[in-house]
Structure 1
């Protein structure tokens, strides 16, 4: 029986490498596996009505033709690669147990409901998500610590980063560039004076979570406030049909771009999430808002700018340094920092390639001294 299964798998692989790969839908009715170092490239639609397991190999969606993934059985892949500028539509979920690598083109799902999604297991992560390649729809993830959902719409990556202390918490997230008040009406209340009507996120899950979302020029934050200290993450509470303040414990950036982190909440209690502003009399003024210097490091081992050095922190033993990427994902954290950061994350983060350092680009740093007595914040550029 084992020999028969092995032969059948080889026959399927031979079929996939033939000319029909480009010209017609691939249909799997049997038991297809991709073993160690194995690779399958799909250039047209997949109908999966059999078992499709990528135990330790790569399955890629390639080409220049729009196609879809359908069937009655969910494919469970190890590594997934997306390189199709015309996009791929998911009519069924796809599970990834190691890495989803985004190169060009989107994975699209229905935005009416979340049952068809890209599903990340607890050890899985993503690479390369950008405005040009992401999930335009829903992503599900089993989160034990932190995870960045690589979601957005047709034009922009608009990720949501989730952080939880509960083990193996399942969350599903999506993004819509639409006016949330068409479905979830807003009325001024004691907690929220106004909300952003350009965009909103959907987050599902029954465990407590803290989220980070970012705004850009398309968010038009300046249309609802002139003071980002007034900005908060807000959610439409299902039980009261009102928009509620979900907090803003970290606020970095300016009116043009930045990110904000919420307090902990249970997603299933809220139908939609976006940015809102507090009533004027509810805004707490920051203790000592200090703009720090902007830094550049080039961690190449030449002894020049290999480490992130903040000379001011040397005077304070009680300090905490946090570094975030441009999407608000915490990538480095240290108590009593002594200039040791050299571009390595130092954290187990599911959205970052664990075998390499942080990518070249712009990051934000926040250094808090004496329990938040004062805070320095600024930009850090990693040059590789």
Structure 2
């Protein structure tokens, strides 16, 4: 039997958006239990010891507010006009994005959709994501499902150790529109700073990040070559944009940049910059992969790796999310992920489309990049 019980006091409310529910007691959703909210939720009681599934379903905008954050095991969101958080929501297991954004205030990073140590998410896309701040607790690696009203603009975080907490939000705005930033204040090696978008990332652990660009990033108006594109950060100490880049992959219309290690709390914002380059990362061939068992193009084979006894292969999707990684690669990639937070079902393989690969031959001091097209 599915059970939801506890010491409860529900009050029916007439809130500005629509009718809702206020919890003044204690609610617990037990294993295999389901609880759905179709209106606002005000949590002024205990709602933090849950198993089962709590869902939010509405064709109108609804809100979670109250004195205390909610903590859910599994949760799903089908809210066409969005679910607004006036108080944080914490997830212990799966957050399933189906339809509608999770809206949090960009002026307050402490109000967020927070992913706890064992949690993950599924289904994040342009129509369902966090429009505002997402955060993590006790995680070392995570891809934040953040964006704005129109697009998912994820940031992938790889930290040297576990983050006690970290917060991230995306802004589709010119950094110069904010008094904290000035694109003219930059290191001498930087020629331009993006005027279209930036991310905020808070965290105390040294980390690297990956951020992607697309057509609306207007990278072609800034750069002539992908290798000119770098991650930059606004230094709080030096009041200037600084080069944090470690490489970029893709084309001027679609690609992503990787950073070198830095401490997020040292930087107010992160975006793309342009540097003057004297050397380029050479390209290897572009590949077609058709893993259908016919013996033709069933796996990714790169001849040049035979020259190196100490190599890495990393494969990224179009959003810059790492989906495959192998040390001393020998033809293992057949269209299936072994990395990543957002793969729905690894046994089904990666979806058809364009992927970027990065090859590092550490013993030879060489680095290469290219594309592959996965056709199913």
Normalised TM-score (structure 1)? 0.87
Residue-by-residue CA offset, 1:21-78 (whole Å, 9 max, x unaligned): x972011111111111111111111111111135321111112011100011111011
Match of 2:226 in 1: 228
Partners of 1:303 and 1:225 in 2: CA distance: 42
Aligned pair 1:346/2:338, yes or no? yes
Aligned pair 1:361/2:352, yes or no? yes
Aligned pair 1:297/2:295, yes or no? no
Aligned with 1:197 (options 195, 198, 201) = 195
Secondary structure at the residue paired with 1:51? coil
Select between 372-381 and 350-359 the one with higher mean Cα deviation: 350-359
Select between 69-78 and 137-146 the one with higher mean Cα deviation: 137-146
Aligned pair 1:177/2:207, yes or no? no
Match of 1:130 in 2: 125
Aligned with 1:114 (options 109, 121, 127) = 109
Aligned with 1:266 (options 263, 266, 283) = 263
How many residues get paired? 364
Assess if the C-alpha contact under 8 Å between 1:234 and 1:244 holds in 2: yes
Normalised TM-score (structure 2)? 0.89
Assess if the C-alpha contact under 8 Å between 1:149 and 1:159 holds in 2: yes
Deviation at 1:284, TM superposition (A): 4.1
Assess if the C-alpha contact under 8 Å between 1:75 and 1:93 holds in 2: yes
Deviation at 1:10, TM superposition (A): 8.8
Aligned pair 1:139/2:134, yes or no? yes
Aligned pair 1:328/2:320, yes or no? yes
Assess if the C-alpha contact under 8 Å between 1:124 and 1:350 holds in 2: no
Residue-by-residue CA offset, 1:123-169 (whole Å, 9 max, x unaligned): 11111111110000000013543210000000000010000121244
Assess if the C-alpha contact under 8 Å between 2:175 and 2:197 holds in 1: yes
Alpha-carbon spacing, 1:56–1:220, altered in 2? closer, same or farther (3 Å): same
Q: Give the alignment of 1:1-384 within 5 angstroms.
A: 9=6, 24-53=19-48, 55-142=50-137, 144-183=139-178, 184-187=181-184, 188-247=186-245, 249-278=246-275, 280=276, 283-287=277-281, 289-298=282-291, 302=293, 307-313=298-304, 315-318=306-309, 319-347=311-339, 349-353=340-344, 356=347, 358-362=349-353, 363-369=355-361, 370-381=363-374, 383=376
Partners of 1:327 and 1:173 in 2: CA distance: 16
Higher helix proportion: 1
Deviation at 1:285, TM superposition (A): 1.0
Deviation at 1:306, TM superposition (A): 8.7
Match of 1:19 in 2: none
Measured on the aligned residues, the alpha-carbon RMSD in Å equals: 2.6
Alpha-carbon spacing, 1:342–1:227, altered in 2? closer, same or farther (3 Å): closer
Alpha-carbon spacing, 1:314–1:165, altered in 2? closer, same or farther (3 Å): closer
Deviation at 1:367, TM superposition (A): 2.7
Deviation at 1:9, TM superposition (A): 3.0
Residue-by-residue CA offset, 1:233-291 (whole Å, 9 max, x unaligned): 111111121111111x231111101000101111111111110112x3xx24125x124
Assess if the C-alpha contact under 8 Å between 1:361 and 1:382 holds in 2: yes
Deviation at 1:353, TM superposition (A): 4.4
Deviation at 1:120, TM superposition (A): 0.5
Structure 1 unpaired stretches of 5+: 1-5, 17-21
Secondary structure at the residue paired with 1:165? strand
Deviation at 1:192, TM superposition (A): 1.9
Deviation at 1:181, TM superposition (A): 1.1
Deviation at 1:298, TM superposition (A): 3.6
Select between 183-192 and 112-121 the one with higher mean Cα deviation: 183-192
Assess if the C-alpha contact under 8 Å between 1:139 and 1:174 holds in 2: yes
Secondary structure at the residue paired with 1:268? helix
Partners of 1:149 and 1:382 in 2: CA distance: 27
